[in-house]
Chain A
């Protein structure tokens, strides 16, 4: 299970970083979302991975660490709100600046389109 988890986090992070480095807001938003998924899984794994056990003391001998579960819940909620805000901001930037480049300029528009 550790191996699967590590691979998933690694793939999500690398996809996220690649997308964040793109110049268009939509790709960057997707990249940040993937990055936050990777981070959430990483937090979840920080308490150690225990399969099929409860997070409540006294029920079983081995139990899952409840704190990372609480932390990841907080991180998910905050990440969700931030992504929602970012999407609205990106739409507003598209409307006000006339294009979806993160720098807001369309000077070398054709070059950019041919590159992506």
Chain B
């Protein structure tokens, strides 16, 4: 099964291509069934990948069997296996939610979801920097299509900003790649790390410039402070299943900072060791503060959740800036928790909006919800998880983030910002919840009741939160091992053809 490494990329590619064929265009049920089958296969291969990587081996896959520093290499280790499983689970829940009719509100939802997964998994699995660019473009062009899914003015406007900013980001990414190739003569991440550790003094400045450009590009993807403007509008305007799926997109940026800066500019990188950490630290903390203010100021529930995504991205990047293994492990655990819970909140916001008549998800007094009880219980659970109250995963994740700050100065900064932001989120969610569920006027409209599959999708996503606590020990152990493995650089030249 040496080819299993590439399955998370191949399965969605083939499924997506099949979904575009004419026989499937005619029947909705066939399309849904094939999409579900593809996701099931993907889930199996993601679990297999996780099981395989749990043994502690880094699996290299040489595309076309070209020897390592020259050909394109895929790398499956614990970190990439975790992230592949995370995005697959998320995609399954979004697919389930979309079955209630959302996938038919525009053309090509199912194939675009598959191509998005292909791009995301490619970005997680590749060990080649140019290949990372290519997979970024695959995931971006699918996300452009998905963002426009369902149509409407708000979406078009948000998509225009999103597309323009990301095209600029792609141009900068290519500039950085060309600079790095000119200086290092390689695009394989492990090989580049070796060459950076023995850099000639006159090359250091140019490599530093390229690293700065890379930081800019990944910061744009992860929505770091001055580059976050696209996120709230794009996420708040996207249709629910798409917004929930996008919860993993900022994590792609975080993952790239972790992988590229961890291996290229890690402790072995001589003069460039720890490049960008100061910048990430300050920008991450500022992102958190701004996002918390956004959460309090938001007038719509969807916008509020979008700012929650921004808040989690800021906390992840600030913690990554601490640089040591414990911090990376905490970031892994927090990514799992925040992605799934934020996705659940996006879906929940859509369900709530559908039953409130004309006020939709605006945080003003409106008609009472038809299914106030089940929706209210789910809202309370997800709010508790986001804020970080004891029985759920948010509590464990935030405690771990706080423990990652070991020295006094970082502890003062991170603890005060994180706790202050959590307090603001608590206030905002309490106010939002009481407005949505208790401040009611007039009669309930006979809106369409939420479908069973929609409840199932939200329930599954929220189930992840107690599961992450109940199986806390093995999950945390795995995160620590994964973070340790990330620091270890294999000698790529020893990876020959099979």
Interface residue ranges, A against B (CB under 8 Å): 20, 25, 28, 32, 35-36, 39-40, 42-43, 45-48, 67-68, 71, 74-75, 78-79, 81-82, 85-86, 89-90, 92-93, 96-97, 102-104
Contact = CB atoms under 8 A, between A and B. Distances in A.
Contacts of B463: none
Contacts of B130: 71, 74
Contacts of A47: 181-182
For the complex of A and B, 9 pairs with smallest distance between CB atoms: A46-B178, A46-B182, A43-B178, A104-B157, A39-B174, A78-B137, A96-B156, A35-B171, A46-B181
A94 B409 CA distance: 51
A75 B170 CA distance: 10
Contacts of B137: 78, 82
A102 B141 CA distance: 19
Interface residues of B, number: 26
A89 B134 contact: no
A68 B153 CA distance: 41
A78 B134 contact: yes
B458 interface: no
B174 A75 contact: yes
Interface string B129-171: 0100010010001001000100001001101110110011011
B189 to A, nearest CB: 16
A56 B289 CA distance: 55
Nearest to B180: A46
B145 to A, nearest CB: 9
A28 B141 CA distance: 18
Interface in B431-452: none
A97 B157 contact: yes
8 contacts: A39-B174, A43-B178, A43-B181, A67-B187, A71-B178, A75-B174, A85-B141, A104-B156
Contact of A102 (B148, B160, B168, B179): B160
A32 B164 contact: yes
B177 A71 contact: yes
A82 B174 contact: no
Contacts of B164: 28, 32, 86, 102
A32 B160 contact: no
B372 interface: no
B175 interface: yes
Contact of A97 (B141, B156, B167, B179): B156
A89 B165 CA distance: 14
A89 B156 contact: yes
B174 A90 contact: no
A71 B181 CA distance: 11
A97 B153 contact: yes
A104 to B, nearest CB: 4
B168 to A, nearest CB: 7
Contacts of A48: 182
B167 A102 contact: no
B163 A86 contact: yes
Given A81-B141, A85-B141, A25 B160 contact: yes
B167 A82 contact: yes
Contacts of B144: 85, 89
Given A46-B181, A74-B130, 11 more contacts: A35-B168, A39-B175, A39-B178, A40-B174, A42-B178, A45-B178, A86-B164, A86-B167, A96-B156, A103-B157, A104-B153
Nearest to A90: B160
